[in-house]
Amino acid sequence: MSAPLDASKLEITKTTKPSEPLPKEELVFGKSFTDHILEVEWTAEKGWGVPTIKPYHNFSLDPATCVLHYSFELFEGLKAYRDSNGKIRTFRPDKNMERMNRSAKRAALPTFDGEEFIKLVDQFLLIEERFVPTGYGYSLYLRPTLIGTSIGLGVNAPTKALLYLIASPVGPYFSGGFKPVSLEATDYAVRAWPKGVGSYKLGANYVSCIEPQMEAAKRGHSQNLWLFGEEGYITEVGAMNVFFAFKNADGTKELVTPPLDGMILPGVTRDSTLELAKSKLPSDWTVNERKLTIHEVKERAAKGELVEAFGTGTAAIVSPIDNIEFQGEQIKVPVSAGSSGEIALKINDWIKAIQYGDESFKNWSRVAQ
């Protein structure tokens, strides 16, 4: 019987050369890392091995390791926050573990007990506690990763794998306050397709997005608004989920995001936005997951019915949108609160308050202990 992941077996070897955390003003996303790495090896024969926390180090991989050839790789992204009492918190880590296991199954990699891994993350955070910066907008970005490590060029399910975690201190996504972005509605390339792997957090999903993003940047845009099909269905924005707010002719209001139809990543911030909007927005708002097209957005913007639009994701929480270029035409998106729409501001404030432990909502915030 293969062994399950067991956090109680954790072995810790602390670094003998601790580094000094960078000053907050020098933090750049994903450029500096903490002193340790969490690792657990897996084999098809024995299952999960002994979890270890060791000094941060390089990997040594055979050139024929399967992850290098066939993209047996997936990851998650979440953050740890320091609350006003100095405690370290994570935001809905159970949702990240659910998604990571979905991705693992689809990638023919081993699944594991999500709660056991979160316990390991808690211990990692207690060791790396001094790298969690103080202040709203500051956090420790956590990157759990799972790779296939079998050696050989045959295209087969890996018989060896490595689950590991590294962490990077980060500052606010928008250092000077919200900065709305301009998008290019991309219809010459697609991010995902029906019954494909767009709803899984695989590294292979990201590489194909870079070239269209570079093309959009040449034309002055920050990101792509991904479209699908001749109908121009809206799916995602860059590597984020996307929301549109409309005011109907009868005065009612609607907050809309595309449904999870297999092409869209089930974002934790997306799910949180939906739940909070349904719970906290005034009664004249309805919150819907439904298909919408770039043509609907264009038409309703022309009628003055487009209220705002924003992306959602772990890195930024929300990212306001003020312009969409589609086939050479500009669709102007209102930003009624100056640099953002009012709903995006509210969602940002609601989620931050939970992340930093200032408000409680459905046990979404977990204290490392």
Q: What's the CA gap between 99 and 45, in Å, rounded?
A: 25
Residue 366 lies in a domain: no
The answer to whether residue 1 scores a pLDDT higher than 80 is no
Same-domain status, 159 and 188: no
202 secondary structure, DSSP code: B
Assess whether 167 and 19 both reside in one domain: yes
Answer for the pair 251, 304: CB distance below 8 angstroms, yes or no: no
Burial 165-194, CB ≥16 within 10 A → b, else e: bbbbbbbbbbeeebebbbbbbbbeebbbee
The domain boundary, picked from 146, 172, 198, lies at 172
166 and 193 share one domain: no
Instruction: Indicate whether 362 belongs to any domain.
Output: no
Our count of domains for the chain comes to 2
Distance CA 217, CA 238 (A): 12
How far is residue 101's CA from residue 79's CA, in Å, rounded to a whole number?
A: 18
DSSP 99: H
Domain-located, residue 364: no
Query: Which two structure tokens, joined as six digits, stand for 68?
Result: 């290098």
Note whether 133 and 271 are same-domain residues. Answer: no
> Does residue 156 sit in the same domain as residue 185?
no
Q: CA 81, 34, 5: angle at the middle one, nearest 5?
A: 80
Tell whether 74 is covered by a domain: yes
Q: Is 186 left (phi over 0), alpha (psi -120 to 50) or beta?
A: beta
What's the gap between Cα 124 and its chain centre? 20
At residue 178, does pLDDT exceed 90?
A: no
pLDDT confidence of residue 129: 98
- C-alpha–C-alpha distance, residues 300 and 170, integer Å: 38
Same structural domain for residues 125 and 245? no
Percent of the chain whose pLDDT exceeds 70? 99
Pairwise CA distance, residues 145 & 139, whole Å: 19
In a domain, 101, yes or no: yes
In a domain, 368, yes or no: no
- Residue 80 inside a domain? The answer is yes
How big is the chain by its Cα radius of gyration, in Å? 21
Which pLDDT tens digit goes with each residue over 130-154? 999 999 999 999 999 999 999 999 9
- Residue 146, class by beta-carbon neighbours within 10 Å (0-12 exposed, 13-18 middle, 19+ buried)? buried
Asked if residue 313 and residue 247 are part of one domain, the reply reads: yes
Above 80 in pLDDT, residue 31?
A: yes
H helix or E strand, kind and range, residue 79: strand 78-82
Domain endpoint, select from 144, 172, 200: 172
Asked if the model's pLDDT at residue 80 lies above 80, the reply is: yes
pLDDT over 90 (residue 176) = no
Amino acid occupying residue 125: L
Per-residue pLDDT, 174: 78
Same domain, 51 and 137: yes
Domain that holds residue 115: 7-172
What CATH number is associated with residue 103? 3.30.470.10
Q: Among residues 172, 190, 210, which one ends one of the domains?
A: 172
- Judgement on whether residues 268 and 312 belong to the same structural domain of the protein: yes
* pLDDT at site 177: 73
Of 100, 125, 119, 120, give the one whose Cα is nearest residue 110.
100
Q: How confident is the model at residue 232 (pLDDT cuts 50, 70, 90)?
A: very high
Is 323 found in the same domain as 185? yes
Q: What confidence category does residue 337 fall into, taking pLDDT thresholds of 50, 70 and 90?
A: confident
CATH number of residue 236's parent domain: 3.20.10.10
Write out pLDDT tens, residues 287-336.
999 999 999 999 999 999 999 999 999 999 999 999 999 999 999 999 99
Please indicate, yes or no, whether residues 201 and 328 belong to a single structural domain of this protein. yes
Tokens of 174: 């928008």
In a domain, 367, yes or no: no
Per residue in 264-284, pLDDT tens? Answer: 999 999 999 999 999 999 999
Q: Is 214 in contact with 240 (CB distance < 8 Å)?
A: no
**Are 201 and 158 members of one domain?**
no
Q: How confident is the model at residue 62 (pLDDT cuts 50, 70, 90)?
A: very high
